[in-house]
Amino acid sequence: MHALKQLIKRFLPASILTFYHLALARLAALYYGNPSEKLVVIGVTGTNGKSSTTQFIGRLLELMGQKVGWTTTAGFKIGDQEWENKQKMTMLGRFATQRMLRQMVNAGCGYAIIETSSQGVVLSRHVGINYDVAVFTNLTPEHIEAHGGFENYKKAKGAFFAHVAKGGRKRLGGREGGGRKSGGAGSGSAGENDGGQEKMAVVNIDDPHADYFLSFPFDQKVTYGLDDKPADYSPTVLSMDAAGTAFVLETQDYLFHPVGRFSLYNVLAAITVVRSLGFDAARVAGAVEQLRPIPGRFESIDCGQSFTVLVDYAYEPAALSALYDAIKLLPHKRIIHVTGSAGGGRDVSRRAVIGEFVAKHADIVVVTDEDPYDEDPKRIIDMVAGAAAAAGKTDGTDLYRISDRQEAIEKAMSLASPGDLVLLTGKGNEPVMAVAHGKKIPWDDRSAARMALVKGGYDCGTPRTIETK
Q: What is the pLDDT of residue 216?
A: 98
* pLDDT tens sequence across 143-173: 566 666 788 899 999 999 999 999 999 988 6
**Residue 186, CA distances (Å) to 60, 68, 335 in order:** 18, 22, 48
Residues 182 and 215 occupy one common structural domain: yes
Percent of the chain with pLDDT over 90: 78
- The CA distance from 357 to 349, in Å, is 13
Q: Are residues 268 and 363 in the same domain?
A: no
Pair (60, 205) in one structural domain: yes
Cα angle value 152/157/162 (rounded, 5°)? 110
200-214 mean pLDDT: 98
Q: Are residues 188 and 97 in the same domain?
A: yes
Cα–Cα distance measured from residue 258 to residue 93, given in angstroms and rounded to the nearest whole number:
32
Residues 309 and 227 in one domain: no
Q: What is the CATH number of the domain that holds 371?
A: 3.90.190.20
66-to-40, 180, 452 alpha-carbon distances in Å = 11, 18, 40
Residue 90 to residue 108: CA distance in whole angstroms:
24
Parent domain of 403: 299-455
pLDDT band at 11 (very low <50, low <70, confident <90, very high): low
Exposure string (b/e) for 262-294, b if CB count within 10 Å is 16 or more?
A: bbbbbbbbbbbbbbbbbbbeebbbebbeebebb
Domain shared by 11 and 149, yes or no: yes
Amino acid found at 383: M
Q: Is-above-0.85 flag for pTM?
A: yes
Please tell me the least confidently modeled range out of 6-20, 21-35, 122-136, 392-406: 6-20
For residues 265-270, give the mean pLDDT: 98
The answer to whether position 157 is within a domain reads: yes
Tell me: do 334 and 196 sit in the same domain: no
How far apart (Å, rounded) are the C-alpha atoms in residues 63 and 251?
21
Rounded CA-CA distance 365/400 in Å is: 6
Shared-domain flag, residues 359 and 266: no
Length of the chain: 469
Q: Give the orientation angle of helix 405-415 with respect to helix 445-455, to 10 degrees.
A: 50
Q: Are residues 335 and 264 in the same domain?
A: no
Give the three-state DSSP class for 76.
Answer: strand
3-state per-residue secondary structure call for 114-173:
EECCHHHHHCCCCCCCCCCEEEECCCCCCCHHHHCCHHHHHHHHHHHHHHHHCCCCCCCC
- Please tell me the distance from the alpha carbon of residue 408 to that of residue 457, in angstroms, as a whole number: 17
pLDDT tens-place string over residues 293-347: 899 999 999 999 999 999 999 999 999 999 999 999 999 999 999 999 999 776 7
Model pLDDT, residue 180: 44
